[in-house]
């Protein structure tokens, strides 16, 4: 007695129990379909970049601090804020007062002081230098959070400083 399975060959048509045949899906097409299914199933998990968590200490009424937080969020950071000022945080992280500004943050083991652009924070997290962190001293117009309409489009040149553990600092990035 001969069955459908006896006559099956991988290079032949696919047989069903009713004796009809359908064209066989070639191996290349099966691989493409399987790959598409895997991409669709894993895509959102694999494609979602890690959103760095950053903790910010600021004054409760500071508008430029709130605008800086919005800048960070727009660049993919998950932000947790503390509205009880930043003096204690600055001291705790070892940031000298001469580099001080209106808010202090902590991300990936680094301290961030002032209106540091998200771009430089992400660079810091990629490069991982041996340092305390980054600072933009004072409050330069045009820096993130200091660039709203109330500043009339005015921009001050400023530098993002890399704060070293020995108390020194070097220019990490200049903005003119």
pLDDT at 14: 42
Residue 100 lies in a domain: yes
pLDDT at 66: 95
pLDDT at 95: 96
User: Residue 145: which pLDDT band, with cuts at 50, 70 and 90?
Assistant: very high
Does residue 154 share a domain with residue 135?
yes
Q: Does residue 8 carry a pLDDT above 70?
A: no
Helix, strand or coil for residue 4?
coil
Residue 6 lies in a domain: no
Tens digits of residue pLDDT in 20-30: 544 555 666 66
In which element (H, E) is residue 44 found? helix 27-47
Tokens of 41: 């199933």
Does residue 102 share a domain with residue 62?
yes
Residue 61 lies in a domain: yes
Tens digits of residue pLDDT in 43-69: 444 444 578 999 999 999 899 999 999
CA 133, 136, 139, 143 torsion-angle sign: negative
Residue 5 lies in a domain: no
Q: Which range of residues forms the domain containing residue 78?
A: 53-175
Does residue 32 share a domain with residue 58?
no
Tokens of 32: 């493409």
Does residue 60 share a domain with residue 18?
no
**Residues 98 and 163: beta-carbon distance below 8 Å:** no
Does residue 105 share a domain with residue 33?
no
Q: What is the mean pLDDT of residues 123-132?
A: 97
CATH number at residue 125: 3.40.30.10
Residue 159 lies in a domain: yes
**Distance, C-alpha 155 to centroid of its chain:** 26
Query: Whose CA is closest to 71, among 145, 130, 13, 160?
Result: 145
- Tokens 């009339």 found at: 152
Residue 75 lies in a domain: yes
For residue 93, count other CB atoms closer than 10 A to its CB.
Answer: 19
Does residue 83 share a domain with residue 29?
no
Does residue 103 share a domain with residue 165?
yes
How close are the terminal C-alpha atoms of the chain, in Å? 87
Tens digits of residue pLDDT in 86-120: 999 999 999 999 999 999 999 999 999 999 999 99
């Amino acid at each position: 007695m001969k069955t459908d399975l006896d006559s099956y060959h991988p290079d032949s048509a696919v047989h069903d129990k009713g004796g009809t045949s359908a064209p066989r899906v070639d191996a290349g097409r099966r691989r493409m379909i399987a790959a598409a299914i895997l991409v669709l199933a894993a895509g959102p998990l694999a494609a979602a970049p890690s959103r760095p968590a950053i903790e910010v200490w600021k004054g409760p009424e500071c508008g430029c601090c709130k605008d800086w937080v919005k800048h960070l969020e727009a660049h993919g950071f998950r932000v947790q804020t503390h509205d009880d000022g930043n003096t204690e945080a600055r001291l705790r992280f070892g940031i000298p007062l001469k580099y001080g500004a209106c808010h202090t943050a902590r991300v990936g083991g680094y301290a961030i002081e002032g209106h540091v652009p998200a771009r430089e924070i992400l660079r810091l997290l990629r490069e991982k230098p041996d340092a305390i962190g980054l600072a933009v001293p004072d409050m330069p117009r045009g820096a993130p959070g200091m660039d709203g309409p109330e500043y009339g489009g005015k921009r001050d040149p400023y530098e993002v400083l890399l704060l070293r553990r020995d108390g020194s600092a070097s220019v990490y990035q200049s903005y003119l």
